Amino acid sequence: MTSKNRMGFIGRAFAVLGAASAAAAAVEGHRRPNARDLHTLGINPANFPDTRRG
């Protein structure tokens, strides 16, 4: 693995971990996660259920 590929992998891993953390915090706070975070996690924002309670 070249240095450039390794840094890309590490950057992507941090992006996924950050998006997962942000999305989890939003759901726990009964808020909808950012579309950017959902895209990073491979989730279509249109298919993500509404997290607000009625």
Ramachandran region, residue 42 (left: φ > 0; alpha: ψ -120 to 50; beta: rest): left
CB–CB of 31/6 below 8 Å?
no
Predicted confidence (pLDDT) per residue in 2-28, tens digit: 777 777 999 999 999 999 999 999 999
At 1 the pLDDT is 63
The pTM is what?
0.78
